Copies of this chain bind each other. A is one copy, B any other.
């Protein structure tokens, strides 16, 4: 793990790093020492580790909850090189959609493919970040919607350090099998007018989660949006389960 920059503002330190080929960012409270809960934020499709929503969320989690927060670029996103194979599939999928194919199954298949790469990557990131003195081996939360849900479900299912997860804006096609292996508490965010994820598939994914404690929060609006009060709800959700 190699740190490439460190900045600080409003009490929050931001450290850019690379772990092998993976570019990432770690936010912690200024002057933090000792173990604390860690939230891994998974960004959406076409976004990256420092997309505005990710940064805003990360800074609030650090400033208001005292958590450490990490985000990394998914393959083919942000500072990572384009991936010829993923690009080829994305181009083919777009052509299929233009020809009238249904979008959801294509997204599902693609995300399952990428997750085979990101699950071990994210576990390696957890290993490295939790080895730092100001993060340590505390409980871990995962926050990811849309692509961050598609990649996050297999990760949450596989990684026992994750004790609570915010997921959503994904359909059951994406990860029904992974969802059935998720047993930690989940707050599941739905956009009621999601133009990318059919509502019935979204509700079916919530149904498929094996978690004894799960809550679905649905608000009007299109794909990608999360109202501020529901972001605040996820902060309390993590505080309830990780602190």
Interface residues of A (CB under 8 A from B): 190, 192, 203, 206-207, 212-220, 227, 229-230, 232-233, 236-237, 240
Contacts and interface: CB of A to CB of B under 8 A. Distances in A.
A158 to B, nearest CB: 23
Nearest to A215: B219
A218 B230 contact: no
Given A229-B240, A233-B233, A240-B229, A215 B215 contact: no
Given A229-B240, A233-B233, A240-B229, A217 B216 contact: yes
Contacts of A240: 229
Nearest to A232: B236
A216 B215 contact: no
Contact of A227 (B207, B215, B220): B215
Contacts of A220: 212, 214
Give the interface SS of chain A, mostly helix, strand, loop or mixed. mixed
A212 B215 CA distance: 22
Given A216-B217, A229-B237, 19 more contacts: A190-B216, A192-B207, A192-B216, A203-B203, A206-B218, A212-B220, A213-B227, A215-B218, A215-B219, A215-B227, A215-B230, A216-B218, A216-B219, A217-B217, A217-B218, A218-B218, A229-B240, A232-B236, A233-B236
A220 B229 CA distance: 22
Nearest to A211: B220
Contacts of A206: 192, 218
27 contacts: A190-B216, A192-B206, A192-B207, A192-B216, A203-B203, A206-B218, A212-B220, A213-B227, A214-B219, A214-B220, A215-B217, A215-B218, A215-B229, A215-B230, A216-B216, A216-B217, A216-B218, A216-B219, A217-B217, A217-B218, A218-B218, A229-B236, A229-B237, A229-B240, A232-B236, A233-B233, A233-B236
A214 B221 CA distance: 10
